[in-house]
Amino acid sequence: MYKNAYALIIKSLLVVMLTGCFCKTSYAQVNFGGQIFENNTKIPLSGINIENLNTHLKQISASDGSFAISAKIGDLLSFSSPYYQPDTVYIINLNYLKIYLNLKTKTLKEVQVTSAELKTGSLKITPTKGPFNSETVLYQTDAAGRPIGGVKIMIHDWNKDENKRIMEQQFLRGEEEKVQISKVFSPENIQNYLPISNQELRNFITLYIPSIKTYNSKGFNLLDYLTSSYKEFLKIPAEQRQSEDFLKINK
């Protein structure tokens, strides 16, 4: 009888201990992570301050916008920066989190593309239609383009058409990316980051607007790029930076 009672007590103590362990585990701090972006441009943001308002632990986002901080469900995380509007997030789960911050001043203005014109030039010689209205049959001509009799058969090069189609697609993708870069590096947007305006601002954009390759590179960060470019820009004498003849001076 005493043995059974003793065993029952031991079993109850184990249940209590295990329950306590599980409770502690559910509320334990874990390494909670995510990534921070600028809302309009979707560019990853580095140097953003992250703070767990419950534990007061602090971290800073990396060059690709990623962050990791000790947190648990129910904690409050704040995201702040001198350039962006602060945001606070209540953690309801520990899934990877994506945060989008807005500029404190102006956001990017929409750029409306109303039309796109591709100038390919004019053909010097128009192919002559064959007897069955076929463009695969052309009359032979001399060097001056005058008919000399006879016909020549034109074999259709389907590979050439496919290559042309691929080149056109690449061209259109490049144009879309240029429009996106123009949005980011518009005077209205850049003056939110740098203390310059008017002609000096236009000169800065002309000199430092990045190429498609640079803009799409893995390590590209807008704030870092603008900071380093502005430091270089300041090395140019002020009268040159603000001159309308800036491009002529720098040729």
Q: Answer for the pair 203, 187: CB distance below 8 angstroms, yes or no.
A: no
The pLDDT value given to residue 69: 93
In which domain, by residue range, is 165 found? 157-249
Q: Are residues 86 and 137 in the same domain?
A: no
Domains identified in the chain, total number:
3
Residue 116 lies in a domain: no
The pLDDT value given to residue 193: 87
Q: Are residues 137 and 214 in the same domain?
A: no
Percent of the chain whose predicted confidence (pLDDT) is above 70: 59
Write the CA distances from 112 to 41, 107, 180, integer angstroms.
Answer: 16, 16, 11
pLDDT beyond 50 at 124: no
Residue 104 lies in a domain: yes
Q: Are residues 135 and 67 in the same domain?
A: no
Q: Are residues 177 and 196 in the same domain?
A: yes
**How far apart are the C-alpha atoms of 49 and 84, rounded to whole Å?**
11
Q: Are residues 54 and 138 in the same domain?
A: no
Q: Are residues 75 and 141 in the same domain?
A: no
pLDDT beyond 70 at 73: yes
Q: What is the mean pLDDT of the chain?
A: 75
**In 10 A of CB 193, how many CB atoms?**
15
Residue 1 lies in a domain: no
Mean pLDDT of the 174-193 span: 85
pLDDT beyond 90 at 21: no
